[in-house]
């Protein structure tokens, strides 16, 4: 597995282009199963997860063509079986369940894999499919769903930690071809869910209420083809913003959507960061001094759990004591031990991490445990004195397009060490 070697202490300065959103493009690609017509998806990031999703679509019988940042998919014929060998690689692959069931009235999908960040049950996915009239069971590691027909119904998708993003996506896709009207209460409001809804409407679906907790979907008999441009990745944007500030630099984000980043921008401003919005660009730099902050991760529009780890690295460099409380995933502090190897002072109390600001971090060999933890460790390595080596960086390639190349353009001293 590849590693990253980072020589810390260099401020990041300059502009960085924000790529298309990973968490939007995966369900949008899955949604192409709903139609026999070709779909052209633009602003697609070059990520390992995108390649995996295309492989899953091809295994189901669709044809995919990747040309730069454009992916063309045509699912003229599809099979109903999504195999473990591909689905195990990422959680997002579960979103083929809804469109397969809608299109074929049956689907067998392996239980998914992905980052080890806590329990992510499929009960709400099952509940959504059953609300549309499907029979669902889990057997031999597979979710098996079938129905003579799908009929619109009412469902409540609130879970232990709030609405389910992927469950909402699956429900939306399945309901597009169900007979009658479906009402989803406590639906996820994330920008990526909205983007999926816009794509579905582009191919002929009738979805109202996008961006609100209540979605109303009127089923149609068939869907067609369309072109769609994926929204920019708000998590990537937040990662580069934090990296610039914590290294005492100034980073400008090109293509980022400030309306998708309100909670992050607000907390950075509260901590003493200057944020300038002008001419379609976002610029982040330190003010006169940084201040400790308290953060609780929440469903959108709250502070995103996918920025929690990066923000924790930021907190190690702010004077005083900061507290970050994780309310979405119970096992999302796996990066704490690795940050402590670099000299961070962090204690865990239940769902909260208490972070004491320190004078400096020191380079060491550390190991990435999941996608966003990997990003947090990269930021820490750029702050730390000396050289930091981060092993198992394949997670980064799943969710960040050309991360090391973009960091180098901003002035970071980072080198990818390839291993056979």
Q: Using CA atoms, how far apart are residues 402 and 398, in angstroms rounded to an integer? A: 10
184: CB partners within 8 A, 6+ apart: 128, 155, 157, 168, 171, 172, 175, 214, 215, 216, 217
In the block, which residue shows the tokens 């090391």? 404
Q: Is 149 strand, coil or helix?
A: coil
In the block, which residue shows the tokens 């079938």? 146
- Closest alpha carbon to 309 in 284, 328, 287, 286: 328
Q: Where are the alpha helices (DSSP H) in 247-383?
A: 262-270, 308-315, 336-341, 371-383
Which residues does the annotation mark as catalytic?
115
343 by Cβ neighbours in 10 Å (0-12 / 13-18 / 19+) ranks as middle
40: CB partners within 8 A, 6+ apart: 70, 71, 72, 225, 226, 227, 228
Q: Using CA atoms, how far apart are residues 69 and 75, in angstroms rounded to an integer? A: 20
Write the CA distances from 32 to 36, 110, 193, 204, 217, integer angstroms: 8, 19, 15, 12, 18
Q: Using CA atoms, how far apart are residues 202 and 287, in angstroms rounded to an integer? A: 43
Residues in the chain: 420
1: CB partners within 8 A, 6+ apart: 391, 392, 393, 394, 419
CA atoms within 13 A on the CB side of 392: 14
Q: Give the gyration radius of the chain's Cα atoms.
A: 21
């Amino acid at each position: 597995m590849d590693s990253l070697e980072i020589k810390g202490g260099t401020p990041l300065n300059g502009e960085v282009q924000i790529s298309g959103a990973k968490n939007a493009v995966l369900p949008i690609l899955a949604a192409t199963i709903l139609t026999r017509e070709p779909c052209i998806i633009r602003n697609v990031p070059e990520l390992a997860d995108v390649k995996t999703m295309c492989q899953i679509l091809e295994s189901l019988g669709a044809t995919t063509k990747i040309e730069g940042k454009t992916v063309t998919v045509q699912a003229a014929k599809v099979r109903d079986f999504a195999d473990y060998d591909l689905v195990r690689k990422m959680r997002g692959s579960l979103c083929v369940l809804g469109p397969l069931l809608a299109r074929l009235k049956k689907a067998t999908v392996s239980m998914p894999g992905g980052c080890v960040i806590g329990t992510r049950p499929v009960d709400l996915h099952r509940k959504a499919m059953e609300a549309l009239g499907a029979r669902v069971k889990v057997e031999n590691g597979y979710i098996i769903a079938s129905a003579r027909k799908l009929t619109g119904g009412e469902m409540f998708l609130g879970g232990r930690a709030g609405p389910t993003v992927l469950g909402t996506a699956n429900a939306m896709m399945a309901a597009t071809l169900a007979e009658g009207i479906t009402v989803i209460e406590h639906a996820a409001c994330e920008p990526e869910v909205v983007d999926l809804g816009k794509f579905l409407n582009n191919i002929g679906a009738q979805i109202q209420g996008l961006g609100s907790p209540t979605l109303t979907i009127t089923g149609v008999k068939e869907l067609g083809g369309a072109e769609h441009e994926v929204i920019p990745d708000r998590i990537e944007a937040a990662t580069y913003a934090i990296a610039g500030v914590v290294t005492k630099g100034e980073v400008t984000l090109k293509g980022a959507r400030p309306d998708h980043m309100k909670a992050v921008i607000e907390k950075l401003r509260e901590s003493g960061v200057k944020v300038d919005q002008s001419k379609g660009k976002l610029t982040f730099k330190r003010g006169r001094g940084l201040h400790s902050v308290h953060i609780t991760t929440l469903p959108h529009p709250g502070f995103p759990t996918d920025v929690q780890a990066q923000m924790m690295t930021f907190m190690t460099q702010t004077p005083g004591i900061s507290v970050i409380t994780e309310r979405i995933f119970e096992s999302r502090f796996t990066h704490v031990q690795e940050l402590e190897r670099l000299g961070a002072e962090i204690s865990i109390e239940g769902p909260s991490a208490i972070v004491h600001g320190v004078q400096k971090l020191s380079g060491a060999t550390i190991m990435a445990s999941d996608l966003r933890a990997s990003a947090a460790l990269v930021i820490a390595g750029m702050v730390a004195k000396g050289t930091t080596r981060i092993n198992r960086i394949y997670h980064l390639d799943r969710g960040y397009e050309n991360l090391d190349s973009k960091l180098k353009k901003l002035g970071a001293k980072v080198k990818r060490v390839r291993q056979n």
